[in-house]
Amino acid sequence: MRIFCFPYAGGGASAFRVWPAHLPAEIEVCAVELPGHESRWVEPPITNISELVHILADILPAHSDVPLAFFGHSMGALIAFELARELRRRQQISLEHLFVSGFRAPQLIDPAPLMHQMSESLFLQELRERYGTPDEIARDPELAELYLPVMRADFALCESYSYSQEDPFDFPISGFGGIEDPKINREQLQAWRAQTSGSFHFRVFPGGHFYLNSTSRPLLLRVLGQQLSQAGRRAARVAAPQGTAYSTKITD
């Protein structure tokens, strides 16, 4: 199996750097590095999800020699979902499993105000209160200068998203979240069930919005590994190469 991992707003491939050591050896972890993030910080970030998804869909077929799964947290969940839809439209790739984490089901309306249009002070306040973003960013002007434009661009990508009705997937979806997440509740996560005619798995873990970076990480990866192994057995195809994580870069 090969699992492509899509990061949260402001995050990058480093969020998944320790995953290979905690997943079965037959699972290859491919962490996606988006323009404007981490090692690609000199590139302008993409603020339109359709543009991003089309770029990703152009390069994914080259990596589909083994069964594929997607994992996305927060913004990454939305990207993974729409990318899976685009690949289905092109009749190129069908996933074995979609893992969505820390993001409401896409058919639900987010009643919160648009953060990407807020002033810097209000934007920082909302980041702290809704997502637990560290105060160090506000206190360090250089860090804020680098980090906040990327965050604002990522929020623009999510907040400009418009859901369109399509048939549900026929492969399994798992919805994960943090028990103490002030932004995403159980009902919003469970609503992902409507996006598949196959099986749906729901699990919450101790922690807040970024539970996957907390002490819950080992449990998350144990559950993820079990479900990926099951998906690999179902696929009945050639197993993924033994490997370590690498970052997949979007090309122009």
* Residue numbers annotated as active site: 74
Cα–Cα distance for residue pair 204/177, rounded to 1 Å: 5
* Chain position carrying tokens 């947290």: 73
**For 6, which DSSP code?**
E
Report yes or no: 177 and 206 within 8 Å, Cβ to Cβ: no
Report yes or no: 44 and 240 within 8 Å, Cβ to Cβ: no
Residues facing residue 178 across a β-bridge: 205
CB contact set of 87 (below 8 Å; sequence gap of 6+): 57, 60, 93, 94, 95
Cα–Cα distance for residue pair 110/27, rounded to 1 Å: 34
* Chain position carrying tokens 């995050």: 11
Written as six digits, the tokens of 222 are 């144990």
**Which amino acid, one-letter code, is at 141?**
P
CA atoms within 13 Å, Cβ hemisphere of 241: 8
Residues facing residue 73 across a β-bridge: 101
Written as six digits, the tokens of 168 are 């549900």
Cα–Cα distance for residue pair 180/211, rounded to 1 Å: 9
